[in-house]
Amino acid sequence: MANDTLFDKILRKEIPSEAVYEDEHVYAFADINPQAPVHVLVIPKARNESFADLKDADAAETGRFMQGVSRVAEHLGLEENGYRVVFNTGRDALQSVQYLHAHILGGRKLKWPPG
């Protein structure tokens, strides 16, 4: 399959992952190399390669994905203390998987600016 990435395989459950949330629109799973006590990746079921694609994507699908990210953060109990959502996009941001994904980071005080 063209553009068949690691996260396509995770979504199809061909590669195991630690699920934390799933609904009709998004799948959320623990990052294998966590950078904070809570580090979860959220991917849309409607595929895009990166955040840069969203300018041309279906607005309703994009909205449902963003709502899903927000819902996952609530589900993780992060709303009271706060959390960070990161979309690494392209080479300079070190995006390593070409399937749109949001990192949700929390569970500790996060530094700013990031490296």
Binding site for ligand 5GP (CB under 6 A): 6, 17, 29-33, 41, 88, 94-97
Give me the catalytic one of 25, 39, 75, 101.
101
Q: How far apart, in whole angstroms, are the C-alpha atoms of residue 33 and residue 2?
A: 26
Q: How far is the CB of 87 from ligand 5GP (least distance, A)?
A: 8
Q: How far is the CB of 68 from ligand 5GP (least distance, A)?
A: 17
Q: How far is the CB of 97 from ligand 5GP (least distance, A)?
A: 4
Residues making up the chain, counted from first to last: 115
- Whether 101 is catalytic: yes
